[in-house]
Structure 1
Amino acid sequence: MSTNYSLSLLPIEIALLTGKWDKEISDPTNSAVNIAQLVVDGSFRAALTSSLARAVFRTRSNDLERPFSEILNLSISSTADLVQEELLHLALAVACLHAFVQANWTGPDLNIQPLQVLLFDFDATPSITEESIAAKAISELAFGGEPAYHLAQVPAFLRLAQLLLGLPYNHVQTAPWWRLRAAIVHQQVLDELVAIPDAFLSSIDPLKSTFASRPDIVGRLYLEIGLFEHHFSQDKSAAEYFVKAARATGLEYELTGALGKRTKFQETQLSQLVLLAQSRLNIDDDELNKKAETAQNAKEAPKINDGPAARNTNVPETLPLNDDTLLEQTEFTSSLPAAEGSRLNHIDPSSQPPLHPLDQCILLSLCLNVRNTSPLHGLTTEQMAPYVSRVILYPRNWTVHTMALLLRSRLESSRTRTVERSTLQLQALIDQMPTADSTLSDRLLYFHSIPLPSKWEMEKELAIRFLSLGVVKSALEIFETLEMWEEVVKCYGALERPEKGIAIVRDLLEGRKAEAEAVLSRGKATSVRRKQVQDTAREAKLWCLLGDLEPAHAVEHYERAWKVSGETSGRAMRSLGGYYFARANYPQAISCLKRAVAINPLLARSWFILGCACMRVEDWEGGRDAFSRCVAIDDEDGESWNNLASMYLRMGSDKKEVKALISESNQNDEDEEKKEGDSASTLAYTNEVGKAIPFTNKMLAFRALKQGLRFSYDNWRMWYNYMIVAIDVGELSEAARALGRVIEETAEKAGAAAVDEDVLERLVDAVARAPADPQQAVESGEAEYAVRNPNEGHGLLRNVESLFERTILPRVSSTRIFRAYARLLTWQGRWEDALKAYLDGYRCSTAGTMEKGETDVIRWQEAVNEVEEIVDMLTNFGPRVEGYKWRLQGRSIVRTFIGRTRDFEDEPEWERLMRLQEELRKEE
């Protein structure tokens, strides 16, 4: 019986996932199915107050000292059908989760409160109120040492959803997916992200095959996993899932160009970026779609002011730009994209077909990825804008359109002509949330498929926007309403009233100021016992904030926060560790930071400071572990990659340690290439020290630096470190590239000192070791087909030649540089060029720059040697250059040098100069 029934669960689970009830599902005798339908329809009040729900939410105790898991029973009865009970638990969990989302994300206002669901004995315990339940839920939602936002509405519903989803499910297959959704919502309630076990995502893998025949559901699954990775800043993994989602739904898209105009007075058509996109999913035949198709068939370019966005009353208002120069949207004047061979060149850029809302969600997510994987420059905005415009073009869903408008608002916030609409649009999005301009089911339909921020996060974003515009008092009012005291303190700092911020924090801690309007309403009736029940995580955070504001008593306040939180406040240990580090008390800093990262291991900054503290006490293994965690969290942190390399080069050669390093390096390689900033530690070790470093460690350092330079391309210190290590491990081609980058970045200020001449000469030596004849440089076969080693001989030649001719010689010059270049030319048999290089080197040398009146004998003796050397070069190479008057050149050099240095006639070396001059005359 159970097996047959479980087969029929899948359509119900799909309805819960997608938010659309399948009319073919009909079982009027099954109360659990009826409740599931109520949940899909958004009738949470009816579902959560039903008789079956009351049986689930019955309480065992009125003691709020006990956790919710002990207060509630959450089971129907021992004789109930287990399949029906699991379905009921899932439906109620979804109802609780979506009720919390409705109250804090989508609106409209919720019509049910937790105490209408939880059946306490109010006669026995009249002190149980909505406020006390909310305070308890907020306390239990604190996770990993991070407090939950204390003004979140109806937090008990999120806690109930967690408890229900935490029950065992043997027949319901989609429970892991709902756990993923609840986890993403929970993370957004916390002050900082907190790590989730690795097995969390693996439990969802079976669903990919379960829904293999449903591309829309598989697309949702990949998209939501990608958004989960996005929340944890795993941008590369998120990008892969977004692309998988697009492939699953069959979405075709291409960023290309088409001729068009962007301004009202533009006469010349220019190529404008446009995103061409087309859905394969079936689009519902609703009124909006009919309007969009009508516009497409008529080949009318949809206008934001006079198009689907304006005509559809079920989506947020799209504010007009009203600029005297810019058009509302790009006006494409060509019916074809500029790029030839485009897969979507049949689409008219000015009249594209409507997209399925799920595909719109994917495009918005891809747009997020453009932001996360591109440098912070203007091109990023230009890339993102077409994605957003394509979604705004045909509004399909309230929540999706809200997210698109929010993204456009963010993009426009940095441009003077659009900043006004940007701010007004953000305000409009906040204002429209409580309204009932669309149904709740419509708002929840794609909520989990986009990264829509909560109400308080949007209001915080508005306040930050006000701050950027210099409207500090308006920002302060919002922050005070949201009770985000850190931001309030920053505002008072900007207003040059820091003492006001300190007074507010002290008033909060001492009970003279309540933290919520709900608490204020209780007035003086708040008892000492009630205050003790309040969220300790919030109190600990306030003590930390006070420690930031009062450095003289910082340690006392941070330790008080640690004690108040029951030794669970990661913020307290992070602050205390940073305090000790800034005062060079590194052992204490390490102790505190190790506690902090044990509580919340996702904060890269804590790991970085811990690594730096370990470096100061020469704990190389500890530093390696810390910086490894930094790059695992943020693989674009070039500074951490550099310091990780430094740790490898300082570690000993213990065999067990080397094995561990090899394993770690392989893992990093699997993760592939991994921010910018000067390194906290640069590598500078002599050959003697280098010989004591295990080669394995050198290779690990080389790989770490190579990955880090992808994200710190302008950091010359890292390039210098990379050059030194590359030379040491035999990667001479990379060493040449690194030396070039160092010179490009530093030659303007450092001159010839920008060139590490020892490294340059080693590169030339590596080329010249091989036979000059390519035929002799290979053991067998023809030279042109031979596989050449890029780190020696002819394989390295091109890089070294380019280094001299394109990088070094146009910027700097010195005797050693010219001599090294001359040796390279000599090896190639380019005698005339080699002589020219030697002569250029002589002109830069001591002899070439010596003037009359020189009195330094040692310097003069050195110059005599240089004169002899250049004459030898002329004698050896001059005859090989047809028509070259090398004797005349040599006599001229010797005669000029003798004429400038006659003050040294009494020195023994003077006779050598005379003989050299005589020999040149005889040869002539």
Structure 2
Amino acid sequence: MGCMGFCSLSFYWFPCSWEILTYAELMLTCIKSLDPTYCCSVSWWLCRLSMVQQNIVDELSSTLFDQIQEYKNKTLAHFGELENVFSYWGPLLCDGEGSYFVSAALLEAGIAEYKYGRIDQSRLYLDSAQEACGLHLSLTGILGFRTIHQVNAKSQMVLVANTSRPAAGEEQETELTGTQGDAVALKNARSSVPGESDEFCDILRMPRLLENENDSGNENTKDPCKKAVPTAIQQAAVLAECLHVSRRSRYDEMSGWEMAPYIELIDSQEESYFVVRSLCDILRIRWESTRSRTKQRALLMMENLVEDVGNDFPVAAQRAKLVFGVQMPTLPALRKEYGELLISCGIVGEALDIFKDLELWDNLIYCYRLLGKVADATSLINTRISVTPNDPRLWCSLGDVTNNDDHYKKALEVSNNKSARALRALARSAYNRNDFHASKMLWESALALNSLFPDGWFAYGRVAWKDKDLQKAVDAFSRSVQIDPENGEAWNNIACLHMIRGKSQAAVQAFKEAVKFKRNSWEVWDNYSKVLLDTGNIQQTLEAVKMVLNLSSNKRYNIDLLEKVMTMLEEQPAHLSYTQEAESVSSTSDDANHETRKSNQLLDVIGDILQQIVRSGGSNSEIWGLYARWHKTKGNLIACSEAMLKQVRSLQGSGLWHDQKKFTKYAQASQQLCKVYMEISSSTGSQRELFSAEMHLKSSLKQAADFLNTLEYKALDDCLAEIKNLIGSA
């Protein structure tokens, strides 16, 4: 167990038979040194042993991860294909056992990858395991009822399991629960699952399908969940798929409903192994505890499940079946989850007793804080320290309560500088003191002890950024997303760092991932729009700008970015006309027409954005100026003049006639307005616009007495003279 001592990992509990695990590891290691031709399964058992060690610690261990990867690869090399299994065991195999071993090896490999958050690799192994055991899953919709008092049937998501088993499969069905007597006794002993008439909830545990009620007498129209009778390994594959579904997408209200069909399929089976049924109950509890209408039932189920798992029945021989093929938590981990569920239900006192019994000091401190008894937490920890003064966990917990760095340093001392938690706490403390360089060094030391800590890599990247070490910051955030691919904030930071370093294309790729997980963050979309424009993707730039508007209630927009896009679109017509001429000569004008349509589409999009800003009432002089330019590009001079007039009016104010900068903007806008008036007059032959321009310029020049010697004043005066000439010549 040196790997756990090296990393100074904390245990959920110290098993009373710890020497058994140590002896098993020593024995398997000795057997491994023998002739490998006859000991291929040793790697499989060592992989299982390493997974047991990982499951009893409360953090992911990089040392155990390396061991599991090594043993897993050797196991799959020997048992990952049916031919290899037959060549190893040969005539010793019974019917169907070859595919069982292949499925089990692939399934356990998928669970190991899932444990360490390697979702894509886990997906590959689980697909292969389903194929090896002849399981084909598909989701469908059937009308049914979800509540007891529901009147109208609604579409219910149902999982259909099509299985292809060997001919001897029917003879092996009784293996699911052992003897029939054991099966009946187990069913009677289980108390974790309440019946459909549960007094706590009117939500059915499994939907009552309309198809079953209408055709109850026809065996060909039974519940799809009950058509096939999956074998034990197939049931384990279904639950592994359920775990994968829960992790493959963002956690929201729908993720639980996506898991429901898998849970209900296993619940519908008459016979299942103990660990398979228990994991199914755990998954249901996790789902139902997130819903207010089923939370009380979930609490009752968890209480009964903890009691069932802790009972002497079923015996070890029944519990051990397929125990490595499901991601079943240990009893202490299950009790910890029960305590956390109690806290979420407001039952802090009972949770306090559980955490005290498990010696989970951090959870205990949290409970005391909820009860307003921080002094009691401190007293309890000091009492425990007097008993076990060399436990670094206690010193770290004391540091958390008192916020004193000396306790973390003491934890390092008693652990021989191997307490990753103490190093992380000291790193956070240094960051809060703005000592970024010291914090960076401490994070490096902590991550050297245990690198499988996504929050640690994120914090390390942030402090490296503060310390202006951009390369280490990028590397740290990259490691963070490797461990947790759904960390949208880390993806966003990677993209921003690429922006700072001028790598727009790399920034675009990172932002694509960031917006998947931070879709409701207008800041991410705003940064995304900037790099999209740098790469020349105008259409996606405008889509990102529109997302910023929608997410910020039309209060946030980048005027400089919109002006750049408008300038690019204004420059395109001349280019397009030239292109069209050249293409007409060669009789291939399709590309030119395509470009023209694309340009018009982009103009429509930016027009929608400008109209959205204007209608929201948050427009200013710059927006009105862009809006006028858009109308002019579309050829609508009347609307252009109206927008420019609003731009001019928005520039007027009390300080206009005494501020050089304000007057310059006002004069430029007035001159552009008058030029549009002249264009309208020239095209329509009307003098009304000319008189409006003359009146506006006279009024402006009269009030601009402080700027008689400026170029802007002279430009307005020349424009007035030109308008007078046009009026006189008409």
Q: Superposition RMSD on alpha carbons, in Å?
A: 3.7
Change (3 A) 1:440 1:736: same
Equivalent pair of 1:406/1:426 in contact (CA under 8 Å): yes
Offset at 1:219? Answer: 2.4
Share of identical aligned residues, percent? 22
Distance 1:378 1:205 in 2: 37
Distance 2:653 2:310 in 1: 86
Identify the range of structure 1 (610-619 vs 349-358) with the bigger mean alpha-carbon deviation. Answer: 349-358
1:168 aligns with 2:33: yes
Name 2:320's counterpart in structure 1.
444
Once the two structures are superposed, the pairs formed by residues 82-121 of structure 1 within 5 Å of their partners are: none
Offset at 1:699? Answer: 2.9
Residue 152 of structure 1: which of 8, 15, 18 is its match?
15
1:459 aligns with 2:459: no
Distance 1:145 1:451 in 2: 24
Once the two structures are superposed, the pairs formed by residues 442-841 of structure 1 within 5 Å of their partners are: 442-511=318-387, 539-551=391-403, 553-554=404-405, 556-650=406-500, 693=502, 697-746=503-552, 748-750=554-556, 756-764=561-569, 767-768=572-573, 770-772=575-577, 775=580, 782-784=588-590, 795=598, 798-799=601-602, 801-805=604-608, 809=612, 811=616, 813-817=619-623, 819-820=625-626, 823=629, 830-832=634-636, 835-841=637-643
Offset at 1:418? Answer: 1.6
| Residue deviations 1:642-690 (CA, integer Å, cap 9, x gap) | 3223444555xxxxxxxxxxxxxxxxxxxxxxxxxxxxxxxxxxxxxxx
Offset at 1:477? Answer: 0.5
Offset at 1:912? Answer: 4.3
Equivalent pair of 2:110/2:123 in contact (CA under 8 Å): yes
Give the 3-state SS of the residue equivalent to 2:10 in structure 1. Answer: coil
Once the two structures are superposed, the pairs formed by residues 109-258 of structure 1 within 5 Å of their partners are: 141-166=4-29, 167-168=32-33, 170-171=36-37, 172-195=39-62, 196-197=65-66, 199-206=70-77, 207-209=79-81, 210-211=84-85, 214-258=98-142
Change (3 A) 1:566 1:232: same
Offset at 1:545? Answer: 1.5
What letter corresponds to residue 492 of structure 2 in structure 1?
N
What letter corresponds to residue 193 of structure 1 in structure 2?
L
Offset at 1:567? Answer: 2.0
What letter corresponds to residue 247 of structure 1 in structure 2?
E
Residue 842 of structure 1: which of 633, 641, 644 is its match?
644
Name 2:92's counterpart in structure 1.
none
Offset at 1:870? Answer: 2.7
| Residue deviations 1:399-431 (CA, integer Å, cap 9, x gap) | 111111111111111223322221111111111
Name 1:266's counterpart in structure 2.
150
Give the 3-state SS of the residue equivalent to 1:869 in structure 2. Answer: helix
Change (3 A) 1:599 1:886: farther
Distance 2:468 2:176 in 1: 70
TM-score, normalised via structure 2 length: 0.83
| Residue deviations 1:45-73 (CA, integer Å, cap 9, x gap) | xxxxxxxxxxxxxxxxxxxxxxxxxxxxx
Offset at 1:795? Answer: 4.8
Name 2:91's counterpart in structure 1.
none
Residue 352 of structure 1: which of 227, 239, 261 is its match?
227
Offset at 1:155? Answer: 1.5
Distance 2:140 2:260 in 1: 13
Offset at 1:583? Answer: 0.9
Once the two structures are superposed, the pairs formed by residues 871-890 of structure 1 within 5 Å of their partners are: 871-876=674-679, 887-890=687-690
Identify the range of structure 1 (213-222 vs 461-470) with the bigger mean alpha-carbon deviation. Answer: 213-222
Distance 2:111 2:558 in 1: 49
Offset at 1:836? Answer: 4.5
Structure with higher helix content:
2
Offset at 1:274? Answer: 1.7
Alignment size in residue pairs: 683
Once the two structures are superposed, the pairs formed by residues 288-367 of structure 1 within 5 Å of their partners are: 312-313=187-188, 317-320=192-195, 321-323=198-200, 325-334=202-211, 348-349=223-224, 351-367=226-242
Equivalent pair of 2:332/2:358 in contact (CA under 8 Å): yes
What letter corresponds to residue 55 of structure 2 in structure 1?
Q
Distance 1:807 1:247 in 2: 54
Offset at 1:469? Answer: 1.3
Change (3 A) 1:393 1:895: same
Distance 2:133 2:591 in 1: 46
Identify the range of structure 1 (770-779 vs 421-430) with the bigger mean alpha-carbon deviation. Answer: 770-779
What letter corresponds to residue 158 of structure 2 in structure 1?
V
What letter corresponds to residue 760 of structure 1 in structure 2?
V
| Residue deviations 1:165-212 (CA, integer Å, cap 9, x gap) | 333351222222222222221111122101122545433341323248
Equivalent pair of 1:740/1:808 in contact (CA under 8 Å): no
Distance 1:363 1:767 in 2: 56
What letter corresponds to residue 438 of structure 1 in structure 2?
P
Distance 1:706 1:287 in 2: 49
Name 1:400's counterpart in structure 2.
276
Gaps of 5+ in 2: 87-95, 178-182, 215-219
Equivalent pair of 2:499/2:531 in contact (CA under 8 Å): no
| Residue deviations 1:19-59 (CA, integer Å, cap 9, x gap) | xxxxxxxxxxxxxxxxxxxxxxxxxxxxxxxxxxxxxxxxx
Identify the range of structure 1 (884-893 vs 449-458) with the bigger mean alpha-carbon deviation. Answer: 884-893
Equivalent pair of 2:492/2:510 in contact (CA under 8 Å): yes
Distance 1:836 1:353 in 2: 72
